Structure formats: C-alpha cells, structure tokens
Amino acid sequence: MALSEKSSSELSSFLQTQRTAYDELVAQGLKLDLTRGKPSAAQLDLSEELLSLPHGHAAADGTDVRNYGGLKGLTELREIFADLLGVEVDQIIAGGNSSLTVMYDTLVQCLLHGAVDSERPWSQEDKVRFICPVPGYDRHFVLLESLGIEMITVPMTQDGPDAAAIAELVKDDPSIKGMWVVPTYANPSGAVCTQEVAAALTSMPTAAPDFKIFWDNAYAFHHLTEEETKSADILSLAAASGHPHRPVVFASTSKITFAGAGVAFFAGSSETIAWFVGHLGKRSIGPDKINHLRHLQFFKNADGVREHMAKHRAIIAPKFAEVQRVLTERLGEHDVATWNDPAGGYFVNLDVIDGTASRVVELAKGAGIALTPAGASYPHGDDPVDGNIRLAPTMPPVEEVTAAMEAVATCVLVAAAEKYSN
C-alpha cells in the first residue's frame, strides 16, 4: 500500500517500525560510503600493466616521447579516440590527466580571449550565463560559479536536455553563451542524449553568435549492459546545421584506466582545435607523451578500449543490480521514491518525496552511511524541491553496496513516514 494512503494509526505504527529498524542500523556502527563516483580498486587493477609501460620511448613517427613538443598529443592515441568518439583525427587532441582541467581552460580562454567565433572576450560582456540541465554534475556548476558565470537550469529528460526549453531561452538572450551536456549516461540521471535532441541543440538559433555546447562525454564507453549505445554525432550535426564551432567535446580515460593518471581529450571543429592549441601553446610546451605512449601500448586499438570496458562492466554491473534490487524490494510497494535503472555511467538518481532528501542524507549520516549532500546535483547545491539524491555504487565492494542500500532504504522510509505524519 502507498504510504500516502495509510490511515494515521497505520502510519504511526509504520513509523515506529522504521524507527526501530533505524535504531538497529545505528547500533551496527556501519561505516560505508556512496558519495563520489570513483572506480574501485578492482577496476584500477584492470590497468595495472600501465605501471610497467611504455616499452621504449619512440612514437610511430620516431618522435622521442621523453622530450618536449607535440602539443596535440600522440597521433596514434588520438587516432584511437577519434575512432571511438566518431570524430576526425584533426578534430581531437590528447592532453593531460583531467578533462575537467580542459573544461576549465576552455572557459577561461573564452573569458579572456573570446571563443573562435566571438566578437569580443566573454569577460567584456555585461553578463555571461550558461544553461545547466538538472540534475547535473556538481563540478560543472562549481566551475561556472567560481568564474562568475550565472546559471539557468532546465530539466534533463531521459532523451537529454529539454531542447525546446533551451531553444526558447537562447533565441533572444545574447548573454547566454553556452550550456553543459553530459550526453551519454549522464551524471547523475543516466540519460542518453538522442540524435534528435543533439540535432535540435546544434541547429537552434541563438542570440549569442558564439554559443557553445560543452559536450562532456565522460561516460561515452561506460556501458552497463551488452548494448553499446553510440553517442550522438555532435560535430557532424553541428557542421551540417551551419554551426560547426558550437560544440566543444571533452572526454578522458579517468574511468577507463586510472582516475588521476589517465589521458584527457578535447575535440571540436578544426578551427576550434587551432584556437584551443593556440592558447594552449602559451601555457605548455607539450603534454605527457610518455603517458600517451603507455596508453597506446596498453590499448593497442579501439577494440582494446572496448574489451577493457567490458571488464569494467563485469565488476560494476552487479553493484548497480544490487542497488535496483534493494530499492525495488524495500521501497517499491510504498510509493515514496522513484529511481532510474541506468544502462551505463557511474550513478543512480534517486528522487524521494519532496522536502525529504536532506533528511534522508542526515539520517544516513547518523547511521554511518556517507551520501552525496542533497542538492549537490543543482547549481549552488540548491535543489528547489529537496527531493534528489545521487547514489554512486562503483567504489565499495558489492556486499557494502548491499548494506549501504538497505540502510538508505530504511532512511527513505523513516523520512517519508515522518513527512506524512506531520
């Protein structure tokens, strides 16, 4: 029976039962963590061989990777990721260890110098605003906030950002300079941006002539099922609709090899690449090509990456299955939450009764379960309805995921029963 349909006496006995369960949970003295989307040690072990690579130090063209130079990164590694991301080799560069850093650099270049198609630096505009589909990635929002860029939220749907709402916003407002999209297995909703939504975003008229789609494809290859969903072909769509410089694409091997010692990629039109490399050349004499060669020798080719991702899937899919099982078994009949069953990525998005997300996180903390702060998936950490919780099950071993999810379910039930009792 749905909790909302219970009589007040049924509700109070239900609350009592859940509080007893919660007290038992606290007494167990658990210490579990479902906060950040990090790979587990077993996933990192899949790439252990990298620690004994590269063999030798010459790229295919004879370049000595130990030396300076090669701003665009090792060509053979760019070829592999161009193939995987569906772009041309001259549309992609390989950089340092973090795509977030590349996103930061891109924004800073836009602010200081203007984008490749800007009339002036963004910092000379009265105001710069960005569209942020929500729920979204907290670090995207923090990054904008730190640079003084205002955020306008739009809903994230299961097909990607709400393109109609975005088109309406951008058509008359030149201060809206860009937007975020995590197109494949979005953080945290798991949504996959369809080719139709991507086409709408690349073709829509924008008042800003230099509007940018920050296409952060962090989870492009992170499938949780055997179906390897292909990302929308954003660069071709943009070129075909007459806005070739609109998308800037980011990706990395952070959750493929080592989070912290992987390789980040930046892709865009050839002009966008020339613009980015032009600025990059002032702050770097070249990337860590030894790491590029190491990754090249490890993967060998695009299929090497695909095979490697299947090994990740074998490790993490059972954890995601546990999240689904526990949520369905414990919460299904009570109608107090909805959640997604992602086909890839690193997160499960849990929506609880409005006004209870912070309480759930607080209860969980009291029972030794660390959850991402409620509201983290919204700009300024402010979820207007206090209903959204991001679950990240990849890092703990599967038994801990089960224990943590049992605890989360109890906390959701306590918070819901408290809410209905008031």
Query: Binders of ligand PLP: how many residues, by CB under 6 A?
Result: 13
Of these, 216, 322, 383, 400, which contacts ligand PLP (CB under 6 A)? 216
Strands 337-339 and 348-352: antiparallel
Q: CB-wise, 114 or 344, nearer to ligand PLP?
A: 344
Within 13 Å and on the Cβ side, how many CA atoms surround 63?
20
Least Å distance, CB 223 to ligand PLP, is 16
Of these, 18, 91, 184, 252, which contacts ligand PLP (CB under 6 A)? 252
Strands 32-33 and 369-370: parallel
Is residue 372 near ligand PLP by the rule CB under 6 A?
no
Least Å distance, CB 121 to ligand PLP, is 25
Within 13 Å and on the Cβ side, how many CA atoms surround 5?
5
Q: CB-wise, 98 or 109, nearer to ligand PLP?
A: 98
Q: CB-wise, 109 or 254, nearer to ligand PLP?
A: 254
Residue 370 sits at φ, ψ, to 5 deg, of -85, 120
Question: CB of 25 within 8 A of CB of 17?
Answer: no
Is residue 220 near ligand PLP by the rule CB under 6 A?
no
Q: CB-wise, 115 or 392, nearer to ligand PLP?
A: 392
Around Cβ 363, how many Cβ atoms within 10 Å?
24
Residues 28-47 that bind ligand PLP (CB under 6 A): 37
Q: CB-wise, 151 or 336, nearer to ligand PLP?
A: 151
Q: CB-wise, 114 or 247, nearer to ligand PLP?
A: 247
Residues 69-98 that bind ligand PLP (CB under 6 A): 98
Of these, 166, 204, 218, 414, which contacts ligand PLP (CB under 6 A)? 218
Of these, 85, 198, 264, 376, which contacts ligand PLP (CB under 6 A)? 264
Residue 350 sits at φ, ψ, to 5 deg, of -110, 120
Question: CB of 82 within 8 A of CB of 275?
Answer: no
Least Å distance, CB 294 to ligand PLP, is 17
Question: CB of 229 within 8 A of CB of 344?
Answer: yes
Residues 171-210 that bind ligand PLP (CB under 6 A): 182, 187
Q: CB-wise, 25 or 100, nearer to ligand PLP?
A: 100
Least Å distance, CB 142 to ligand PLP, is 12
Report the amino acid identity of residue 171: K
Of these, 11, 15, 87, 100, which contacts ligand PLP (CB under 6 A)? 100
DSSP secondary structure string, 265-295? Answer: EEE--HHHHHHHHHHHHHH-S---HHHHHHH
Residue 205 DSSP one-character state: -
Is residue 348 near ligand PLP by the rule CB under 6 A?
no
Least Å distance, CB 220 to ligand PLP, is 11
Alpha carbons 228 and 245: distance in angstroms, whole number: 28
Q: CB-wise, 149 or 413, nearer to ligand PLP?
A: 149
Is residue 231 near ligand PLP by the rule CB under 6 A?
no
Alpha carbons 72 and 79: distance in angstroms, whole number: 12
Is residue 105 near ligand PLP by the rule CB under 6 A?
no
Residue 278 DSSP one-character state: H
**Preceding peptide of 205 cis, ω within 30°:** no
Around Cβ 178, how many Cβ atoms within 10 Å?
25
Question: CB of 153 within 8 A of CB of 140?
Answer: no
CB within 8 Å of 18: residues ≥ 6 apart: 410, 413, 414, 417
Q: CB-wise, 77 or 363, nearer to ligand PLP?
A: 77
Residues making contact with ligand PLP (CB under 6 A): 37, 98-100, 137, 182, 187, 216, 218, 252, 254, 259, 264
